[in-house]
Structure 1
Amino acid sequence: MPIRRRPERVETHDGPAIELRGIGRTYRTGRETVVALRGVDLVVKQGQVVGMLGRNGAGKTTLTKILSTLLLPTSGTARVFGHDLVSEVRAVRQLTGVVFGGDRGLYERLTARENIQFFAMLNGVARRTVAHRIREVLADSGLETVADRPVESFSKGMRQRLHIAIGMVTRPRLLLLDEPTVGLDPVEAERLRTAIGQLRDDGTTILLTSHYLLDIERLADRVVLLAQGRLVADVETSRFTELAGHVATVTVRGRGLAPEALRRPIPGLVVDVVKQEDPLWMARLRVEGWAVGSFTSLSGLLGAGDVVDFSIAPVRLEDAYTELENLARRWATHTSATGAAEYGTGWNTAADAGGPVERR
């Protein structure tokens, strides 16, 4: 059970937790210049959990490192609780916790308690409060019973929870989580999601980077998508599946030949696949929306053939993510081919996911 926290003075700030304007980052590798981030604009309200998605190389880790002050932006401005990331580094670090996870960053021969104490003292936690803080984060991360075991005996899931505990011992108002559940078994991953959910409920602002959409679905209020260094989507998690462009997938199997209706446009439905596998046929269709027309079309299709099996699968986050990735690739191809401005353009998915528009 989490330990009751002692009240303490907290710096007040009425604005957003994160405010990024035109953030860019380039690297020099020999004679080549690599653009990691291109004109990223992002505002995160206090207490909000934002899930950041994108393929490897999209710029997620670079953006996380900039917010943690490990990297400086090449262009643009960035503020954390009103403090400039470049000129007020100390203030930003006092308000921010970072969890990159993995096997690195822990002292194997020290116990979990000793690891937390070391990083707490390193980050300026007062001696008079450090013992109480350690008990708090051990309880919140579920490591109380193993607190005095050396870390070299820990499983991967226990190490991840220890990383979370270290990140929270300074009581940061902003927590940056980079792939917190990667490589964990389902039980450990769920334990970690529970711990992160507790931080969210306590009002901590969280930027969560993950390839696991279950993490995003369970924890995030908003989803942003990075592609080739640009922020190309920003939408509430509850509306994320709407970006897939359909509400469900219908799979139909029948005997004999596939109905001719499947080879013509069907109101309210999009035919994805039709296969003839004698003596059966199979068709997979996307339902654009549950309306009278969709039900009428499905009824007519089922009556047109000798149907033996019929199933409906609601749209998943994976479907929306795949659609967004496809849109992002088409948009990147469009900007490269037309010579569109390198900065300041993207997919305005909240209004129209159908093409590139200018961000203002």
Structure 2
Amino acid sequence: MENLRRTFPGTPPVEVLRGVGFTVRAGEIVGLLGVNGAGKTTLLKILSTLLLPSAGKAGVCGIDLAGHGHEARRHFSVVFGGDRGLYPRLSALDNIMFFGGLSGPRRNLRTRALAALAEVGLAERARSRVETFSKGMRQRLHLAVGLLNQPCLLMLDEPTIGLDLMEAERVRDTVARLARAGTAVVLTSHYPTDIDRLAGRVVLLDSGTVTHDLPIAEFRRQAGFTAEVRLSGPGVAPQDAAALLTDASVRIDQHEEGWKITFQVGAWDATVLSRLTEVVRRHPVADFDVASPGVEAVLRRLALNHG
């Protein structure tokens, strides 16, 4: 993408995209983030040839999307979240054969359909009606449809929406496997776990412009802290913890079953470790957990700064 712009007519006209540009390479998973109204949907519509840009250009595998959309569509697929868009009374194989016949070459279609079902773990349910499928299975079937043309670019919009933990992990595993095989992936999701688990890079849109384009590790550092520490124990919460951990952001919660302390460490050093050791020495700690900042922490901080 180079300097993509999109203006919708009105009084006054509304410029939704304002010079968006970035590249997604083979085997790379890019998390595309932004609040509602940031321009993500408009951008995906342009990349999927459903909408023309007002200015700028975009291409897939060297093929211009605006000028050669029909040819370009052979090289990418779009998969949306949710369980609609399938024919419930047809089998999984019949669904994928139908959509495959509409969207691409019919040569070896059945073989490719069965291979796509195997790729998403649905080979044994190929002849089962979709109406018997769970939400997660339907989402994996959507993904199988998207794999039929062996795309070099796969665009995923909320791929784990409404899925339970196990089904969401199956979808993530499939996406990661596709990327390792060389497929470029653009992933949009309101679930930070999807981005944390899959993306190697994050592109953040705000008011139609790219404000951040960073490797995932560098993006996480925008959270402003190195780690979040969580301590918990029985009885009454230690009120001296806030004084001991003076250089950290401390939150103390009291529950019926005990207490929990959460604080953020700006940087690990001897002073922080000494104060943390003092808390553990003075009070009975039943559980101790240290977590690196995730995408959600970064987005929360950016939202506060923006506000």
Report the Cα distance in structure 2 between the residues aligned to 1:47 and 1:257, rounded to whole angstroms: 50
Deviation at 1:145, TM superposition (A): 1.8
Pairing 1:164-179 to 2, within 5 Å after superposition: 164-179=143-158
Matched with 1:337 is none
User: Which deviates further from its counterpart, 92-101 or 285-294?
Assistant: 285-294
Q: CA deviation at 1:187?
A: 1.4
2:217 — aligned with what?
A: 238
Cα distance between partner residues in 2 of 1:326 and 1:42: 26
Within the candidate set 284, 292, 299, 1:321 is matched to 299
Q: Which residue of 1 aligns with 2:181?
A: 202
Instruction: Name the CA distance, whole Å, in 2 between partners of 1:144 and 1:259.
Output: 55
Distance 1:110 1:312, change over 3 A: closer
Give the secondary-structure state (helix, strand or coil) at the position aligned to 2:195.
helix
The corresponding residue for 2:86 is 106
Aligned pairs for 1:263-342 within 5 A:
266=246, 269-273=247-251, 284-296=262-274, 298=276, 302=279, 307=283, 309=285, 311=288, 313-317=290-294, 318-327=296-305, 329-330=306-307
The answer to whether the 8 A contact 2:160-2:171 is kept is: yes
Q: Which runs of 5+ in 1 are unaligned?
A: 1-19, 331-360
Instruction: Report SS of the residue matched to 1:43.
Output: coil
Distance 2:70 2:79 in 1: 18
Deviation, structure 1 residue 311: 4.7
Q: Could you tell me how far 1:239 is from its partner in structure 2?
A: 3.2
Per-residue deviation, 1:107: 2.1
Which string of whole-angstrom CA distances, capped at 9 and with x for unpartnered residues, describes residues 292-328 of structure 1?
34335556x749x96555955323312223223334x
- Counterparts in 2 of 1:111-130, with a 5 A limit? 111-127=91-107, 129-130=108-109
Structure 1 residues 24 and 275, CA, compared in 2 at 3 Å: closer, same or farther? Answer: same
Q: Given the superposition, is the C-alpha separation of residues 275 and 138 from structure 1 closer, same or farther in structure 2, using an over 3 Å criterion?
A: closer
TM-score, L = length of structure 1 = 0.73
CA 1:118–1:291: 2 relative to 1, 3 Å: same
Verify the 8 A CA contact 1:258 1:276 in the aligned structure 2.
Answer: no
Q: Distance in 2 between matches of 1:324 and 1:258?
A: 31
Matched, 1:21 2:2: yes
Q: Which 10-residue stretch deviates more, 59-68 or 283-292?
A: 283-292
Distance of aligned partners of 1:306 and 1:196 in 2 relative to their CA distance in 1, 3 Å threshold: closer
Q: Deviations over 1:84-134 (max 9, x none)?
A: 22112122111111111323322222221111111111123233x111101
Equivalent pair of 2:237/2:254 in contact (CA under 8 Å): no
Q: Tell me what 1:33 maps to.
A: 13
- Given the superposition, is the C-alpha separation of residues 134 and 241 from structure 1 closer, same or farther in structure 2, using an over 3 Å criterion? same
Query: TM-score, normalization: structure 2?
Result: 0.85
1:146 aligns to 2:125 (yes or no):
yes
Q: Give the Cα separation in 2 of the matches to 1:308 and 1:142.
A: 46
- Aligned residue type for 2:112: R
Closer, same or farther: CA 110–285 of 1 in aligned 2, 3 Å: closer
- 1:68 has 2:68 as partner: no
- Describe the shift of the 1:295–1:91 C-alpha distance in structure 2 as closer, same or farther (beyond 3 A): same
Amino acid paired to 2:39: G
Between the aligned residues of both structures, percent identity stands at 43
Q: Structure 2 vs 1, CA of residues 257 and 212 (structure 1 numbering), >3 Å: closer, same or farther?
A: closer
- RMSD over equivalenced CA pairs, Å: 3.0
Partner Cα separation in structure 1 for residue 34 and residue 210 of structure 2 = 9
Q: 1:293 to 1:171 in 2, by over 3 A?
A: same
1:23 CA drift (Å): 1.4
How far residue 22 of structure 1 moved from its aligned partner, in angstroms, is: 1.6
SS at match of 1:142: coil
Aligned-partner residue type, residue 209 of structure 2: R
Aligned length: 300
Matches within 5 A, 1:1-12: none
Within the alignment, does 1:155 sit opposite 2:134 as a pair? yes
Q: How far 1:243 sits from its partner (Å)?
A: 1.6
Deviations 1:12-46 (A, max 9, x none): xxxxxxxx122122334x64533332221211122
Corresponding residue for residue 159 of structure 2 = 180
Which stretches of structure 1, 4 residues or longer, exceed 4 Å deviation after superposition? 250-262, 272-277, 280-284, 296-299, 305-312
Q: Which one is further off, 187-196 or 306-315?
A: 306-315
Q: CA deviation at 1:47?
A: 1.8
Report the Cα distance in structure 2 between the residues aligned to 1:41 and 1:316, rounded to whole angstroms.
Answer: 27
- Structure 1 residue 55: deviation in Å? 2.2
CA apart distance, 1:160? 0.6
